[in-house]
Amino acid sequence: MTYMAIPNIGNYTIALATAVESLGIKAWASTATTPEALKLGIAAAPETVCLPLKAHLGHFIEADRAGVEYAFMVNSVGTCRLRYYRHMIEHILKDLGLKIKIFGLGFDGFKPPIVRHFDPGPITFLKPLFHTALKIKVIDKLEVAAWRTRAIEITHGDTTLLMNKLLVELSESKTMARTRAIRKKVAGCFAEIPVDKEKKPLKVGLVGEISFLRDKCLNKNIEYILGSQGIELRNFFLLGEELKNITRIVFLNQNKRKYLSKVADRYLQCTVGGHALDSVAHSIHCADEGYDGMIHLCPSGCMPEVSVRPILKRVSKDKDIPILEMSYDEHTCDVGISTRLEAFADVLMERRKKQPARPSRGEGN
């Protein structure tokens, strides 16, 4: 059986595994980078590259050692160095004597290279792709429900247990009918969790580089830590929303990037690359929506995200919204992250006590 390694983008890896099956092969994946893979990547990569590259590299080294023949990773555009990283990883793997072949997800013709290589038949290809899209929608729904519920749950850990249970069911689902059934019961399942309905949790947005927004190993499980402190989160990377935007561009000529550019225009007039524009625009939007604070996640040395940090400071001052800057590298420790988050939560709570309620023009979710 032929296997393909999938990069870790959190729970969405479950859906991507179904997409790989559309090529007639099996997926080799985990929903978070393992500590062992990270050690391998750190040892093999140049010291100056960012942590996401080291995580990708270590994951692919582990995959090769397990006998996996293929892998894929996302390309990038603009000033983000991710656009070069696939080639760099290929050279490093070759120098290590490893043979795994890595595909990029970009287009250089009607079909992506990965599809041309495996050349699946239309039925084999399309049905799992539709199933993948459905699973992504379910994961989006699970994520949003968990962010809201964890902040007000009465018994610590209930939300996480339910989330993990439903994710296992989703990963084991082989039919669209079964996946639809899981989607229908999400709201009801979360409604059964005992919550403190009188509690008014702090509301915080997460922005920054996608690997850190989604990989629990890299971000030190930040969503769980904040939720356990009674903070309602909004992670601004939902894959379903990203795919919707692509669909709007292709079929309706509606580009979410134009909207984000308009929101951020006062502060950012040039293309920076990566998700830097998103970080600025969503921080402005959340301030207008009455969020208590923002957290910006960034790998040390990430060119786009580091470039907009002075801009985020201006947004924080102009909009009167605290923005916590979190930088990560291989030396970042769990205790340090947890301590900073606890201190930030204390600051936000003190601000809420001293200030009148922030004006809100919507839910923001």
Whether residue 251 sits in one domain with residue 144: no
Whether residue 169 sits in one domain with residue 52: no
Tell me the backbone φ, ψ of residue 259, rounded to 5 degrees. -65, -45
Whether residue 114 sits in one domain with residue 131: no
Whether residue 358 sits in one domain with residue 219: yes
> Mean pLDDT, 10 residues at a time, over the chain (365 residues)?
90 93 89 93 92 94 95 71 81 95 69 81 85 96 97 96 97 96 97 96 95 93 94 93 67 67 89 85 96 96 88 96 95 94 96 72 48
Whether residue 319 sits in one domain with residue 215: yes
Whether residue 104 sits in one domain with residue 178: no
Whether residue 343 sits in one domain with residue 238: yes
What confidence score (pLDDT) does residue 364 get? 47
Residues 66 and 269: their CA atoms lie apart, in Å, by 47
Whether residue 109 sits in one domain with residue 11: yes
236 is in which domain, residue-wise? 201-365
Whether residue 360 sits in one domain with residue 247: yes
N-term to C-term CA, the chain: 42
Q: What is the DSSP secondary structure assignment for residue 218, as one 8-state letter?
A: T
What confidence score (pLDDT) does residue 278 get? 92
93: domain CATH number?
3.40.50
Q: How far is CA 113 from CA 18, 101, 313, in A?
A: 18, 12, 41
Whether residue 229 sits in one domain with residue 351: yes
Residues 101 and 68: their CA atoms lie apart, in Å, by 9
Domain closes at, from 119, 134, 163? 119
What confidence score (pLDDT) does residue 250 get? 47
Domain closes at, from 119, 136, 161? 119
Whether residue 352 sits in one domain with residue 226: yes
Whether residue 138 sits in one domain with residue 89: no
Which amino acid would we find at residue 290? G
Enter the pTM of the model. Answer: 0.90
Total domain count, the chain: 3
Residues 54 and 244: their CA atoms lie apart, in Å, by 30
307: domain CATH number?
3.40.50.11900
